[in-house]
Chain A
Amino acid sequence: MIAAVHTSSVVLVVAVFLASAVEMVEALTIVLAVGVTRGWRTALSGAAGAVVVLGALVTAVGPALVHVPLSVLRLAVGGLLLVFGLQWLRKAVLRAAGLKAKHDEDAIFAEQVAELSGGSSPGGGPGTPAGAAGQGQSRRSGSLDRTGLVVAFKGVFLEGLEVVVVVLTLGSTSHDVPLAALAAGAAVVLVAVVGLAVARQLSSVPENAMKMAVGLMLVSFGTFWSGEGVHVHWPGADAAIVALVAFYGLAAWLLVRLLAARPRPIAERVAEVEHA
């Protein structure tokens, strides 16, 4: 029993840590782009604002989950994790099989920098004379740039919201929201420290491998908890999660091999020849 509980806690920590790290790499790309183009004060203020709002969200929603009946919570949370995990796993399998472009943080960074320094935005964006002047002025005076602040806030808030959902769902079903929050916090700190140290080299993070691992764990947790919610009795209790991770891992490996080995549809190849 103790071994099963420990196994469950280890899987919980690993799943939350990896999911949070992946999301934070994406958020950090946006913050770095804002920092480089609009000033670090603006970027860090936007990011800090988002962290505060997300923290308030966890504080408000976390304790309320304790009052939801366990079977309802397991079904709702398990279903949520299952659908969310399937989306991650699907993308990771497609990328590993070469059917979808890998997430390129360098390209996203360059795109964000180009948008923020040359693109246009409403109300005196950077592409307009007023925006360019405002940008230079805000950098000189150290005041906050509105566009940069909104971009940094939105980037961190939206990526962070996914972390919050993972922390609350995995944490509440495992009866350990603080442990899940701690794992997420550790990932955020680690990514921030490493990201600032290797600024602009985020593409070296093995993001697809991490996404594959997170997808496997979310689908396994989702299957387990939603199953419990509809009164499926898993053999071995919590230890069944490990068996599910192994089952889905093997299946994902086979799916990658099958998809990578199969020739592409004829219509696709004809279109490619016509475009050449």
Chain B
Amino acid sequence: MRERSWPVRAVAGFGRFWVDFLVGDTPELFVGAVLALGIAAGVAASGSVGASVVAVAFLPLAVLGVLSASLLRARRGGSG
């Protein structure tokens, strides 16, 4: 098998570092955080009355929900 050139290996290594760094063995934290931010962005951008208050309350609670779900997954043995 032909060895890959160093630029390809460097780019692959760089990509692997960020995937390990952000996703690792807890993809639920990454996906959950992105979803929570997406919903908060939608609420804040809706411009409806009280949207800002809802977004302020929603974001920390959603983050806490993501953390709790990941902890439960670990408790059941889904990830360490």
Taking Cβ atoms with an 8 Å cutoff, the residues of A that contact B are 75, 79-80, 82-84, 86-87, 89-90, 93-94, 99-100, 161, 165, 219, 223, 226-227, 230-235, 244, 247-248, 251, 255, 259, 262, 265, 268
Contact = CB atoms under 8 A, between A and B. Distances in A.
Contacts of A259: 71, 75
A268 B55 CA distance: 40
A259 B37 CA distance: 27
9 contacts: A75-B37, A82-B33, A83-B22, A83-B30, A86-B63, A86-B70, A90-B29, A230-B40, A259-B71
Contacts of B56: 227, 232-235
A75 B75 CA distance: 31
A244 B60 contact: yes
Contact of B77 (A79, A93, A262, A268): A268
Contacts of B41: 230-231
Given A227-B55, A268-B77, A232 B63 contact: no
Q: Which of A79, A80, A90, A268 has the most CB of B within 10 A?
A: A90
Contact of A99 (B30, B34, B55, B75): B75
A93 B26 CA distance: 14
A232 B55 contact: yes
Given A233-B56, A235-B56, A90 B71 contact: yes
A68 to B, nearest CB: 17
Given A227-B40, A232-B56, A251-B64, A83 B33 contact: yes
A275 to B, nearest CB: 15
Contact of A90 (B40, B52, B60, B70): B70
A104 to B, nearest CB: 15
Contacts of A75: 37
Contacts of A86: 26, 29, 33, 63, 66-67, 70
B75 A262 contact: yes
A199 to B, nearest CB: 30
Given A231-B44, A255-B68, A268-B77, A87 B29 contact: yes
Contact of B29 (A83, A99, A161, A230): A83
Contacts of B17: 161
B29 to A, nearest CB: 5
B21 A84 contact: yes
Contacts of A244: 60
B75 A232 contact: no
Contacts of B44: 230-233
Interface in B15-71: 17, 21-22, 24, 26, 29-30, 33-34, 37, 40-41, 44-45, 52, 55-56, 59-60, 63-64, 66-68, 70-71
Contacts of A165: 21
Given A230-B41, A231-B41, A232-B44, A94 B67 contact: no
Given A90-B67, A230-B41, A259-B71, 11 more contacts: A75-B37, A82-B63, A83-B22, A89-B67, A165-B21, A219-B67, A227-B55, A235-B56, A255-B67, A265-B77, A268-B77
B37 to A, nearest CB: 5
Contacts of A223: 59-60, 63
